[in-house]
Amino acid sequence: MNRSLGWAGVAVVLAGIGLVAFPVVVTGGEALDLEQLLGFLVAPLGAFVVLLAAVAVDPRKTTIPGVFGNEEEPVNPPSEGEPPVGPPRSSPYQSVHCRYCGAVVTADLASCPRCTRARECRTCGRPLGHVLERPTCPTCARAEPFCNCPRLARPAPARLGRRVRALVR
């Protein structure tokens, strides 16, 4: 929300309400005057400005430079050598990132929705399969959270591009 535009819209709405109430407060007459007609015209325009401010992006809040017109945001891309870091996965029901394309893969999917490659089991690292519409380890034939296979050495993740790494974080 663009607050400066929102406050301007609120001021226009209050000015319209003031124009509607002015003849009644000052003269006590209840006939429609020019000021009241102008107030009936100005108040909806102010409400429109408030709605525009509600959907407008605040340039102080954008984080990606140039996406919403904020070219002044400093660009600090991560270095090419460091892999994307994230919080440690403590629950087998949390989503993971595909190691090939970086897309988010939820816990109920056995393959990446973007590149359609099989996701690795979190316990043993083997590619998962589907049995009864749930991700299943092919070695022990159990659902992924209940896999009891020995842990395999996992290969290093594929290198992601700068834009993908920025979106993954």
* pLDDT tens by residue, 12-30: 999 999 988 888 888 887 7
Within a domain: residue 77? Answer: no
Q: What is the mean pLDDT of residues 71-96?
A: 58
pTM (2 d.p.): 0.36
| Statement: residue 32 has pLDDT above 80 | yes
Domain extent for 7: 3-55
In the chain, the percentage of residues whose pLDDT exceeds 70 is 67
Say if 33 falls within a structural domain.
yes
In a domain, 62, yes or no: no
Residue 35 lies in a domain: yes
The answer to whether 103 and 112 have CB atoms below 8 angstroms apart is yes
Report if residue 156 sits inside a domain: no
pLDDT grade for 44, boundaries at 50, 70 and 90: very high
CB 128 within 8 A of CB 117: no
At 109, list the tokens: 């999917």
Do 98 and 146 sit in the same domain of this protein?
yes
pLDDT at 14: 93
Contact call for residues 158 and 102 (beta carbons, < 8 A): no
Overall domain count for the chain: 2
What is the rounded distance in angstroms from the CA atom of residue 49 to the CA atom of residue 60?
A: 19
